[in-house]
Amino acid sequence: MTPPPATILIVDDRLELAENIAEILSGEGYSTEVVDSAESAMERALHGGFDALITDFRLPGKSGAQLIEELSRMGASVPAIVMSAYTDPATIENAQSAGAICFVPKPVDVPKMLGCLERALHGDGDGTPHLHV
């Protein structure tokens, strides 16, 4: 029996972008859900059932980094990927400090995103936590 596909929660206030990412991931065999804010993601997290998170760094209200931190405090330990058009060292450091395992610059490089997602779901194999940029 084939295991169910991994479910990926995608958070971006630009719904068109989030839906494009969801479509690409669905084509790769993942199940996806899209929300447009950290608050909606937190509400969705209360119901559980997602295996990884892809979030924009800059969101209205809480940031993607704050979302990752809050999920961690709630005990929802899902691997998180942060994407952002802002690639300055402070933004990348903030994402890493929050617990992101991968940082993907926008516009999104699809092969990089897929590689990050594979690492998020299956690990690096070396047991060392580090941020992939």
User: Could you read off the pLDDT of 62-83 as tens digits, one per residue?
Assistant: 999 999 999 999 888 789 999 9
In contact, 47 and 76? CB cutoff 8 Å: no
pLDDT for 2 equals 73
State percent of the chain over pLDDT 70.
Answer: 92
Query: Is pLDDT of 15 > 50?
Result: yes
The pTM (predicted TM-score) of the whole model is 0.91
Residue 56 confidence (pLDDT): 98
Look at residue 133 in the predicted model and tell me its pLDDT.
57
CA–chain centroid gap for 4, Å, is: 19
Q: Are 41 and 69 in contact (CB under 8 A)?
A: no
CB 49 within 8 A of CB 5: no
- Residue 8's contacts (CB-CB under 8 Å, 6 or more residues apart) are 22, 25, 30, 31, 32, 33, 50, 51, 52, 53, 54, 117
| Distance, first Cα to last Cα, the chain | 36
Q: Taking residues 23-45, report their average pLDDT.
A: 95
Q: Is the pLDDT of residue 32 over 70?
A: yes
